[in-house]
């Protein structure tokens, strides 16, 4: 399926809407406003095709202008499970575990990349029928099921909005990514035995050697 959407931080949600919705013609899928004792987060999800959203903006005062994450949609749920297993086997940090988002119904997990932001990897996103769709409003980013780290991450980001601490706006997997060795890309022309050897966990390798 390929690139599904991108979520960007912005200091002004209203200005972003004026540009993308009013000038470029994107249409609003839904709004989310999450309030916490330490601050609030405002988000807008926009679409330009039947996908639930192609781009979204997250306003948090003091947040840096940066990519929060981009999302890759798979052809099947099987692909998502295999991708998660590969991350585990190769030491790629998973910042947010498997779950199903409330607004777009995407079943996904989030992994870290070397640039310090997250990649969402999933399947099954909601499709919009423009002839009947009405923009929705949410007051929570909690998922229908799973994504256990998401609630704590959102609370931290809301608190960071009032503190100006840029580090607290980073996805939870970003810091861990800086301390992990780079993943080895296995060429497709390697033998089956070589691919299995590279994909094996350290525990598996020790058992084979013994």
pLDDT in the model for residue 184: 39
pLDDT for residue 85 is more than 90 = yes
Local confidence band at 63 (pLDDT 50, 70, 90 cut-offs) = low
pTM above 0.85, yes or no: no
Distance, first Cα to last Cα, the chain? 42
CATH 1.20.1250.20 for the 2-185 domain, yes or no: no
pLDDT > 70: percent of the chain: 71
pLDDT for residue 10 is more than 60 = yes
Q: What is the overall mean pLDDT for the chain? A: 79
In the chain, where are the structural domains located?
2-185
């Amino acid at each position: 399926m390929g690139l599904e959407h991108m979520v960007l931080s912005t200091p002004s949600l209203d200005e972003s809407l004026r540009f993308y919705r009013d000038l470029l013609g994107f249409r609003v899928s839904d709004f989310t406003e999450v309030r916490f004792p330490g601050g609030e987060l405002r988000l807008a999800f926009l679409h330009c095709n039947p996908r639930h959203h192609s781009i979204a903006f997250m306003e948090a005062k003091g947040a840096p202008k940066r990519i929060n994450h981009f999302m890759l949609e798979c052809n099947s749920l099987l692909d998502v499970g295999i991708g998660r297993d590969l991350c585990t086997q190769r030491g790629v940090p998973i910042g947010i575990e498997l779950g199903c988002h409330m607004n777009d119904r995407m079943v996904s997990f989030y992994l870290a990349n070397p640039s310090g932001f997250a990649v969402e990897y999933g399947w099954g996103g909601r499709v919009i029928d423009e002839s009947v769709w009405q923009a929705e409003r949410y007051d929570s980013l909690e998922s229908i099921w799973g994504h256990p780290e998401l609630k704590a991450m959102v609370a931290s980001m809301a608190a960071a909005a009032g503190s100006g601490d840029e580090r607290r706006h980073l996805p939870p997997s970003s810091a861990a990514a800086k301390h992990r060795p780079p993943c080895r890309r296995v060429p497709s022309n390697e033998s089956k035995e070589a691919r299995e050897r590279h994909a094996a966990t350290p525990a598996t390798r020790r058992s084979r050697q013994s």
